[in-house]
Amino acid sequence: MPSLNDLASAFALLGTHELEFGLVIAVGVVVLVADWRIALVALAAQYLLVAVLLSTLIPLQIAAVRMIAGGLVAMMFYITARRVQPNRRRRAQTPPQESRGLTPRAIFWVNLPFRFVGLTLVAVGVIAASDQIVLLNAPLLFWVTGLWLTMGGLLTIALTRDALRLGMGLLFFTSGFGIIYLSIDNSLVIYALLVIADLVIALAIAHIASAPAHFQGKRRGEM
């Protein structure tokens, strides 16, 4: 098992441009890619990259807590998705006359070109805001990164109709908010509350996502 010194050495290899590029790709994957497996990998990568970024503001031992929380969140989402997907496939294979009007829902409200345009507009908005607005004493790197994650999270929430993808959007939003806040005030209390909030959000989303599948299975069993 790698020690904190090993993590510190690995984190030191990641520069500013690598972190920014990785977080840009993570948000883009969650917004554009419908496959939940790829989106889940992007969510886990986001937690890792944010932990690396926060390790420049707070001690590494504390920043690693968020990485551990991200692993727990990804595990909860993975278990929930594996539980929900077979029910969706069965509903998709059910003939219309037997499904009582129920059709499998798409992950997003709009198709890929519209999502790409929305993501482009968010990127332009983040660049414009970073040039025109200075948030107290927040360094430019943390201001831009935090704004990108929060806006990307809100865009995901606005575009998705899937509970798990909605949870990913919320978690991206809390990550961006945490980066912006901690760059202004290194409050460990707020950091701990954000980590707890992520776990609570993940539990709530997992329950919401699995509730329809549980209800459908129970109803079929009773019939």
* pTM score of the predicted model: 0.79
Give me the number of domains the chain comprises.
Answer: 1
- CA-to-CA distance for 43 and 168, rounded, in angstroms? 7
Which pLDDT value is given to residue 29? 93
Q: How far is CA 59 from CA 49, 62, 64, 141, 202, in A?
A: 15, 5, 9, 19, 25
Q: How far is CA 88 from CA 26, 81, 96, 110, 204, in A?
A: 26, 10, 14, 19, 20
Backbone φ and ψ for 88, nearest 5 degrees, come out as: -65, -40
Task: Tell me which DSSP letter residue 58 carries.
Answer: S
**In the Cβ-directed half-sphere of 168, how many Cα atoms lie within 13 Å?**
36
Helices 140-159 and 112-132 sit at what angle, rounded to 10 degrees?
Answer: 150
Q: Which two tokens stand for residue 58?
A: 């707070």
Band of pLDDT at residue 136, cut at 50, 70 and 90? low
Which pLDDT value is given to residue 212? 58
Q: Are 54 and 139 in contact (CB under 8 A)?
A: no
| pLDDT tens digit sequence for 2-34 | 554 544 455 555 567 778 888 999 999 999 988
Q: What residue numbers bound the domain in which 194 lies? A: 4-222
- The yes-or-no verdict on residue 216 having pLDDT over 50 is no
Longest CA pairwise span in the chain (Å):
62
- CA-to-CA distance for 104 and 15, rounded, in angstroms? 43
